A and B are shown apart, each in its own frame.
Chain A
Amino acid sequence: MNQLSREEYSQSQKMMIFILAMSLFGLANLFTELLPEFVLGPVEISVSYLAFIPLSLVMLFHPLYAAVGASVGEIIFGDLLLGDFGGLGELEGFIEFTLAMYIAGLLVTNLRSKKQVGIAAIVGIGIDQMLSTIVDVGKVWVGIEEVEAVPGLPESILAIEGLSFVTEMIISGVIFGLIPTLYLIPRLYGKIEPLLGIKPREGRVKASMTEWMSVRFVILAIFLTFMGMVAEFMAEMDINFAVWEPEFLEQFGDGFIWLPISAAAIVFIVAVFTAIKWLGASSNQDKKGKSA
């Protein structure tokens, strides 16, 4: 009567990862909330989050729990405790950020590879920023009766969103994302995991082709939606889509709001589905690794 069943990530370990990510990213968010913003025209230059924290954690631990923990931490510390809970806006941020971080964590298979860590970091932030751009643009689309009826509006929106996308990628993505992540990962890898009683993620996790496909598929889908949005707006500057657009609006009417939301929901469901599949496979994989 020895040997209880062992799983790589027990319930309590998942809870530890969740709490760890929540506390740390929450704390970081308190600071970024308080940091001054530097407003330059319509674009504000500010540190919107210290992305290196969730990025490091999703790479070191189970990506899903670390990603969810970080997002929850942001809501609780950054908003709720400061009396700044944004309701539905939080949900939007939660989905975007969790998904982005989760994917970043899945991308890394070898923590010793600087190239992989770097790419994952940039892709992670990129996805988050693209998703938030998509949602922002979606809101304008829904909120204004006929976007193309306001000459110059599509260009303006594109300019504003584009600029903020670029600055975010530079500040949050590179300065407070990529660089610190590259600094932290080698220092934490193999050191922080034992503190939680977790075996460090080892070498290359052999994911099957289908799982790889689905992760790539999600990234591709987000990227394509993003590009589609940009193209759409570019197009509206010159060409009028009046031929089909009114029809489209008529068909969906005012309930059009649900389009971006349901799009996000679909993406999320796909992601969760992927996650579950991935989890099943990776825990098998880990078991194999462990007995070795």
Chain B
Amino acid sequence: MSEAIISIDQVSFKYPGGDDWVLQDSSLSVNKGEFLAIIGGNGSGKSTLCKTINGLIPHYYTGDFNGSVHVDGIDMYSSAVAVLSQKVGYVYQDFENQLMRPTVLEDVAFAPLNFGDPDFQQHAEWALEILGLTHLKDKSIWQLSGGQKHLTAIAGVLALNPDILIIDEPVAQLDPHHAKEIYQKLKVLQQHHGKTIIVIEHHTEFIADFCTDVTLIDQGKVLWKHDVKTGLQKVDDLLERQIFPPQVTQAALKIDHSNKSELPITLKEAVTYYEGLSITNPTSVEHKSDQHERLHEIVHLENVSHYAKSLRNETVTILNDIHLSIKEKERIALVGTNGAGKSTLMKCLAGIIKPSKGKGRISEYNLKNSSLEKLSQDVAYVFQNPEEMFIEDSIYKDLSFFAHSRNMEMEPFFQQLITAFRMENFIHNDGRLLSGGQQRRSSLAIGLAIQPSLLMLDEPTASLDVKSRQEMIRTLNQIDEQVKSVLIATHDMQLVAEWATRVIVMDQGKILFDGTPHELFAQEFICQQAGLIPPQMVQLSNQLNIHPVALSISEFVERIERIDSYGVS
């Protein structure tokens, strides 16, 4: 009953000068109105495949191309990118660079205007309306939050009213809250406006919740395409390529090996699945060791407030009366929505910003009258974008920059870091030419090379694929020996659950909560107020009334007693 809107037939592609075929005899057919997720490991050819749909390959990226692609009956090879663009909208992973005009409305109207559409204004406003951006239309792009920017980028291609929308990793750069919002909007486009949506996605939990179909790509080949329910249950296929099924699916798999065919893939399914199972609550709750009290205090802030001038010369309170003490051996996660004051707090600790009010101390330095250069010997600050950490032309030079500028001899320590972070293979390369995971590890090492008391990381797992992300969490679990305390600002609740010993929740410049992850996730109203979406395991625990909540899959599995042979229907 539904017809194929895209048919890719035996497509192979090789970049000019490249040795390998990025795509190899790939065939894929997409029906009208589908919400398709494309999954596959890094470098499997996902983006390349998508770019054949709007003709960027081979018209823009020339190379060796074989096979045929038809979009809504149009032969891609014999049409221009400009023609195909009106059928296929493409939103990039680094969508920031896709926004080219100063204000929202202008950017959204840009494409229809370029095609000489006399009603470009109406079409732009229509796209804004659908995505709920109308109230932002006169704002400057740079004033928007990440989520709003992403929606604007989608509106920008939607304004041409294409039948197909391709979105490359919609949530990689967003916090879970905004990510969900994006997916909800995409769902509306699919269900109510008849659009065909294709996403390239690593997060299987979103796929389970929103997509209708899923296709797996590996080494330039389309392995299979199934409906989501079937696809996500092919756990072995996924795990082999380092793609992790939703947490609830993984947990179910660990509990019951025999009954694979009916694994739950969404939270809702999981609740029914686990209902009626007996739950063991741990007999003793972990007790805090009093040893904690005797540890040396690294950071001490009292009544710290910070104000800034906005463009309209209004004074905005960014930090509001912060009290904070950080001791040795702490793993702190700093969470909260964008604009909650997380980065300002970190900048204060790094000495980049002098707080307007209050006093503080970091190691032996007084916050008020110690220069940035002094504080930076004790506090390392690793930026969110690793490329801003690479100031030299090789990782090794970046690593030794601090020691070099102070004539310090730290060679043995560097070698230790290089081994610990598995950087041997690229230590003399330029940081910008590395993969995402390598970049993060390197920037972490650069921070540690200062031998700080406090290491601060800004979003160390953002925009990493699932495999690199797991690797990053593992690395973070190793660094306790090299640094006294670690503070991480993050949206990644899984990281919070699996790594942190203490969580600080910020909201509107204030500290809303300060305690352990268990305590935080048990209090749903705090999570709601601060816009946090707990990991699936935590949500499931809460729904099943498991207390204290399980933070990880293994913790959850321990609580559920083995299912007897009668199991689940």
Do A and B come into direct contact in the complex, CB within 8 Å? Answer: yes
> Which 4 A-B residue pairings sit nearest by Cβ, starting from the closest?
A4-B62, A2-B64, A187-B393, A2-B65
Q: Is the CB of A3 within 8 A of B433?
A: no
Check if A12 sits within 8 Å of B60, measured CB to CB: yes
Give min CB distance, A91 to chain B, whole Å: 25
Contact bitstring A1-31, B, C-beta under 8 A = 1, else 0: 1111110001010000000000000000000
* Contacts A4-B59, A6-B16 given; does A191 touch B65 at CB 8 Å: no
Residue contact B64 to A3, C-beta cutoff 8 Å = yes
Q: Collect the chain A residues with CB atoms within 8 Å of residue B430's CB.
A: 191
16 contacting pairs across A/B (C-beta < 8 A)? A1-B65, A1-B77, A2-B58, A2-B64, A2-B66, A3-B64, A4-B58, A4-B59, A4-B62, A6-B16, A12-B60, A187-B393, A191-B393, A191-B430, A191-B433, A199-B17
- State the CA gap A5–B430 with chains docked (Å): 32
Which residues in B have their C-beta under 8 angstroms from that of A10? Answer: 62
**Per-residue CB proximity of B77-113 to A under 8 Å, as 1/0?**
1000000000000000000000000000000000000
In the bound complex, CA of A18 to CA of B362 (Å): 46
- What CA separation (Å) do A195 and B433 show in the bound complex? 9
The listed residue with most B CB atoms (<10 A of its CB), out of A2, A3, A187, A197, is A2
Listed in ascending order, the chain A residues whose CB lies under 8 Å from chain B are: 1-6, 10, 12, 187, 191, 195, 197, 199
Residues on B with C-beta less than 8 A from A6 are: 16, 62
With the chains together, A195 CA to B58 CA distance in Å?
A: 19
Instruction: With CB as the reference atom, state the residue of chain B lying closest to A186.
Output: B393
Q: Please measure, in the bound complex, the distance between the C-alpha atom of A195 and the C-alpha atom of B432, giving whole angstroms.
A: 10
Interface size class of B (residues with CB under 8 A): 10 to 19
**Cβ-closest chain B residue relative to A4:** B62
Q: Could you tell me the distance in whole angstroms from the C-beta of B20 to the nearest C-beta in chain A? A: 16
Closest to B78 in A: A1
Which residues of B approach A to under 8 Å, CB–CB?
Answer: 16-17, 58-62, 64-66, 77, 393, 430, 432-433
Contacts of A2 in B (CB 8 A): 58, 64-66
> Across the two chains, which residue of chain B brings its CB closest to A6?
B62
Hey, which chain B residues are within 8 Å of A187, CB to CB?
A: 393
Q: B59, B62, B65, B430: which has the most chain A beta carbons within 10 Å?
A: B62
Shortest CB distance A263–B (Å): 38
For the complex, give the distance between the alpha carbons of A199 and B62 in Å: 14
**CA gap between A1 and B64 in the complex, in Å:** 9
Q: A10-B62, A187-B393, A197-B61 are in contact. List 19 more A-B contacts (CB 8 A).
A: A1-B65, A1-B66, A1-B77, A2-B58, A2-B64, A2-B65, A2-B66, A3-B64, A4-B58, A4-B62, A5-B62, A6-B16, A6-B62, A12-B60, A191-B393, A191-B430, A191-B433, A195-B432, A199-B17
Q: How far, in angstroms, from A187 to B17 measured CA to CA in the complex?
A: 23
When distances are taken between beta carbons in the complex, the residues of chain B under 8 Å from A1 are 65-66, 77
> What is the minimal beta-carbon distance from A181 to any residue of chain B, in angstroms?
16
B63 to chain A: closest CB distance in Å?
A: 8
Which B residues are CB-close (under 8 A) to A12?
60
Contacts of A4 in B (CB 8 A): 58-59, 62, 65
Q: Which residues of B contact A195 (CB under 8 A)?
A: 432
Question: In whole angstroms, how far apart are the Cα atoms of A4 and B60 in the complex?
Answer: 10
Across the two chains, which residue of chain A brings its CB closest to B394? A187
Residue of A nearest to B429 (CB): A191
CA distance A4 to B66 in the complex (A): 11
Given the complex of chains A and B, what is the CA–CA distance between A16 and B16 in angstroms? 18
Q: A5 — which chain B residues lie within 8 A by C-beta?
A: 62
State the Cβ distance, B316 to closest chain A Cβ, in Å. 24
Set of chain B residues within 8 Å of A191, measured between Cβ atoms: 393, 430, 433
A12 to B, closest residue via Cβ: B60
- Tell me, in angstroms, the Cα distance from A210 to B171 when the chains sit together: 56
Which residues from chain B contact A3 at a C-beta distance below 8 Å?
A: 64
**Residues on the A chain within 8 Å of B393, using CB:** 187, 191
What's the Cα separation between A199 and B65 when bound, in Å? 20
Distance of A12 Cα from B59 Cα, bound (Å): 11
Q: A residues within 8 A CB of B432? A: 195
Looking at the assembled complex, report how far the CB atom of B135 sits from the nearest CB atom of chain A, in whole angstroms: 27
Expressed in whole angstroms, the minimum distance between the Cβ of B251 and any Cβ of chain A is: 43
A187 to B64, CA, bound (A): 32
B66 — which chain A residues lie within 8 A by C-beta? 1-2
Cα–Cα, bound, A197→B430 (Å): 17
| Beta-carbon nearest neighbor of B64 in chain A | A2
B401, chain A: closest CB distance, angstroms: 15
Q: Cβ of B65: which chain A residues have Cβ within 8 Å of it?
A: 1-2, 4
Q: Shortest beta-carbon distance, B23 to chain A, in Å?
A: 13
A10 to B81, CA, bound (A): 15
CA distance A6 to B393 in the complex (A): 31
